[in-house]
Amino acid sequence: MFIISPQLDEENTEAVVAKFDKLITDQGGEVTKTDRMGRRRLAYEIDGNMEGYYTILYFNAEPGLVAELDRVFLITEGVIRHLIVRKDG
């Protein structure tokens, strides 16, 4: 799950989502579902933002890809928060 800054327009927001989708597939992973939850109010202010564009990517991948994905989330401009969770079963 990641939250994109509300200052980005729709085209740039979709570009950020596509970037992570492509990163996962290029590294041998498989995106099983993309849930675009849309613009939502944040529980608390993050970097001056009270809203953000929520997106959830469901994917299958090796552990090494998860570390790379985390690194890219941290350096991508426009991503204000992210969380990677392992789903068992």
Q: Is the pLDDT of residue 88 over 90?
A: no
Q: Is the pLDDT of residue 89 over 70?
A: no
Residues 6+ apart with CB under 8 A from 15: none
pTM greater than 0.95? no
Write out pLDDT tens, residues 36-74. 999 999 999 999 999 999 999 999 999 899 999 999 999
Q: Where are the domains of the chain?
A: 2-82
Q: Identity (one letter) of the amino acid at 18?
A: A
CB 55 within 8 A of CB 17: yes
Mean pLDDT of 76-84: 96
- Domain 2-82 of CATH type 3.30.70.60: yes
